[in-house]
Structure 1
Amino acid sequence: MDFSIAAILALDGATNGAVYALLALATVLVFAVTRVIFIPQGEFVAFGALTLALLQLGQVPGTVWFLLILAGAAALADLTQGIQHHHGARRIALRMLRTLGYPVVISLFAIWAAPQKFPLLAQALLTLALVTPFGPLIYRLAYESLADASVLVLLIVSVGVHFALTGLGLFFFGAEGFRNPSFWDARFNVGPLTFTGQTLIIFFASLLLIVSLWLFFERSLVGKALRATAVNRLGARLMGISSDSAGRLTFTLAAFIGALSGLLIGPTTTVFYDSGFLIGLKGFVAAVFAGLASYPQALLGALVVGLLESFGSFWASAFKEVIVFSSIIPVLLWRSLADPHGEEH
């Protein structure tokens, strides 16, 4: 291996690492606020890429029908809960309207817009608008009633949600894979390296989102409320911060990040209904590097994962996934020795 090959592999690893960094940040965010190890994070990636692909074909994506079904189920859960707690009819109706309003409006717009074949950027924005509501709806249906359950119970629920989303993804999107067009077809040569426009977009979008998240948590009142919930859920409740609202907002951010990652990675690889699992799992490995707690360490872990995958594919392409996922073992051993925990009571 000479320097030019190493540089090309490093660029490829850094590009993939930028996407894994976004997923790692979402994983750390969800776990910090809700204590949920959100295994289905990668499904948002697949849904984002496949939704854009079907819009490119002028077809109404299965995301629309899936979203309407989830919204209907969440509204039914609101009705049941309202009746059980003897809420007034007006209060129940308003809550159901809030649950159904946005998904119904954006779905109707998507049904009209799909055959129009809008420009790629407009379709990308519509994709984000369709996939992002999946986050709070999934939290409402699968996690909200279990907010105070143990981490193990929440992990088991996450596994079930992953299998459910994968199966429903096959039903709504089919088994065919899609590769989306690049958002920018330019190419730039810098020595032995060739930067594509899509590569630059991935770097820029990842950097912009990371900076935006930092400003959100550091400067905004809502971001500080989420940080307070992450530090001490009970204390946040006593200060008037709703843990349910924090959970829904956290899952909304996770779904947005996942959908954006799908848009970024769609032009670089063929995406199938189940492709999100491996992509999301690599983001999870990067989050484990950070102990599911540190955002800067998650970014560093994502870069390491991307480089391991890139160089592993060069040296032993058949074992590149094994190399990436095996790297979690020494990290877990090191964290176990560096931060031992006594038996929980």
Structure 2
Amino acid sequence: MDASILGFLLLDGLQNGVIYGLLAIAMVLVFAVTRVILVPIGELLMFAPLSLVWLLEGKIPGTLWLALVLGLLWAGLARGRGALGPVLGALGLSALFFLALFLKPLAYPAAVLLVVYLGVATYRVFFLPMREATVLSLLIMAVGLHVAYQGLGLVFFGPEQFRPEPLLRGEVVVGLSWQGVLVLLFALLSVLGLYAFFRFSLYGKALLAAAESRLGARLAGISPEEAGTVAFGIASLLAGLSGLLLAPLINAAYFMGFMLGLKGFVAAILGGLASYPVAFLGALLVGFFESFTSFFASAYKEALVFLLLVPALFYQSLKARAVEE
């Protein structure tokens, strides 16, 4: 291996690692607040660029109708005055999508807001009624939603792969495009923004309180249900923006989100589903490990990446046993 190949592998691992890191942070956030392992986050990530492609081609994507159906179910479960929010959100989203058919720049915010609405509606419709359920029950629901959303993605967008136009064209150096730089800058700004959000904002501190103790949060006047809504909203926002930035580099297809989300989950496990910095560092480890194993043993790279779960889970089991003793 010479220096040029080493540089390519490091750049590839860094670009992949920061995306895994954002997904890992989103999964840790959602799990800490709601105890939901957000398995369908990969589908939410892919829904953004696929919906964007449809809008840029002058077509309404099927994901909008999915959002409207979930919005109606959300309004039905909320009842009374609480039903006004999801209805107004669905109407506003529909209006934005129809405007985006004629004003193409609006397609980008429309695709992101669609994913945010889908994420929040998913929580309010499927997970909020199960708020007292066990982690295993919530995981089964999450896996079921992953299967359902992936199947709907096939119905809405077909089996083809799509590559949206990059926001920035050209290369900085060989192996690193300006779009890749944009991904790295977005990851950096996201991490700093989340740090500032949790460190200085009232909502961020409320989320941390809800993650620490649901009962304690209630006693302090913080609604765990609203905290869960905010957590799903932030996670969906990260997924949607990551999908739009990543798709011009790797293509987008209905089936591609699951593997990305699974690698984000590996990184989250490396952080114990509790630590944001460790999860992000774990994601960088996953990205570099995947990059180098694809060079030395490409046929086994996926298996070797998931093999990282073994020592992480073994360490977590030892840690849990030590706490019990």
Note whether the superposition's TM-score is higher than 0.5: yes
Moved more, 31-40 or 49-58: 49-58
Q: Secondary structure at the match of 1:271?
A: coil
1:190-246 CA distance string (max 9 Å, x none): xxx542101100000111111111111111111100000001111001111111101
Question: How many residues are paired up?
Answer: 325
Query: Which residue matches 1:252?
Result: 233
Query: Which residue matches 1:131?
Result: 115
- Which of 142, 146, 149 lines up with 1:165 in the alignment? 149
Query: Which residue matches 1:50?
Result: 50
Distance apart, 1:343 and its partner CA:
7.0
The CA distance in 2 between the partners of 1:273 and 1:194, in whole Å, is: 26
The CA distance in 2 between the partners of 1:174 and 1:65, in whole Å, is: 16
The CA distance in 1 between the partners of 2:206 and 2:185, in whole Å, is: 28
- Which of 211, 233, 237 lines up with 1:230 in the alignment? 211
1:47-82 CA distance string (max 9 Å, x none): 012111112222212221111111011112223xxx
The CA distance in 1 between the partners of 2:143 and 2:192, in whole Å, is: 31
Query: Which residue matches 2:172?
Result: 188
CA RMSD in angstroms, aligned pairs only: 1.6
Instruction: Work out whether residues 12 and 291 of structure 2, in 8 Å CA contact, stay in contact via their aligned partners in 1.
Output: yes
Distance apart, 1:170 and its partner CA:
1.8
The CA distance in 1 between the partners of 2:286 and 2:8, in whole Å, is: 16
- The answer as to 2:295 corresponding to 1:314 is yes
Distance apart, 1:339 and its partner CA:
4.2
Tell me the amino acid that sits aligned with residue 59 of structure 2: Q
Q: Secondary structure at the match of 1:268?
A: helix
Q: Which runs of 5+ in 2 are unaligned?
A: none
1:164-205 CA distance string (max 9 Å, x none): 21122222222222111111012123xxx5421011000001
Query: Which residue matches 2:28?
Result: 28
The CA distance in 2 between the partners of 1:224 and 1:275, in whole Å, is: 34
- Which of 73, 82, 85 lines up with 1:95 in the alignment? 82
- The answer as to 2:144 corresponding to 1:144 is no
The CA distance in 1 between the partners of 2:75 and 2:161, in whole Å, is: 33
- Which of 52, 75, 93 lines up with 1:106 in the alignment? 93
The CA distance in 2 between the partners of 1:232 and 1:239, in whole Å, is: 10
Query: Which residue matches 1:118?
Result: 104
- Which of 271, 274, 278 lines up with 1:297 in the alignment? 278
The CA distance in 1 between the partners of 2:136 and 2:34, in whole Å, is: 13
Distance apart, 1:112 and its partner CA:
3.2
Distance apart, 1:117 and its partner CA:
5.2
The CA distance in 1 between the partners of 2:309 and 2:103, in whole Å, is: 43
The CA distance in 2 between the partners of 1:142 and 1:210, in whole Å, is: 28
The CA distance in 1 between the partners of 2:257 and 2:53, in whole Å, is: 15
Query: Which residue matches 1:206?
Result: 187
Tell me the amino acid that sits aligned with residue 108 of structure 1: A
Moved more, 199-208 or 47-56: 47-56
Instruction: Work out whether residues 100 and 110 of structure 2, in 8 Å CA contact, stay in contact via their aligned partners in 1.
Output: no
- The answer as to 2:224 corresponding to 1:243 is yes
Instruction: Work out whether residues 58 and 117 of structure 1, in 8 Å CA contact, stay in contact via their aligned partners in 2.
Output: no
Q: Secondary structure at the match of 1:266?
A: helix
Instruction: Name segments (4+ residues, structure 1) moved above 4 Å.
Output: 341-344
Q: Which runs of 5+ in 1 are unaligned?
A: 80-91
- The answer as to 2:263 corresponding to 1:279 is no
Query: Which residue matches 2:11?
Result: 11
Instruction: Work out whether residues 127 and 259 of structure 1, in 8 Å CA contact, stay in contact via their aligned partners in 2.
Output: yes
Tell me the amino acid that sits aligned with residue 175 of structure 1: P
The CA distance in 2 between the partners of 1:188 and 1:149, in whole Å, is: 50
Instruction: Work out whether residues 11 and 175 of structure 2, in 8 Å CA contact, stay in contact via their aligned partners in 1.
Output: no
Query: Which residue matches 2:59?
Result: 59
Instruction: Work out whether residues 55 and 117 of structure 1, in 8 Å CA contact, stay in contact via their aligned partners in 2.
Output: no
1:98-136 CA distance string (max 9 Å, x none): 11101221112202322x2524xx422221122111111
Query: Which residue matches 2:39?
Result: 39
The CA distance in 2 between the partners of 1:304 and 1:279, in whole Å, is: 14
In terms of fraction of residues, the more helix-rich structure is: 2
1:301-321 CA distance string (max 9 Å, x none): 000111111111111222111
TM-score of the superposition, structure 2-length normalised?
A: 0.96
TM-score of the superposition, structure 1-length normalised?
A: 0.90
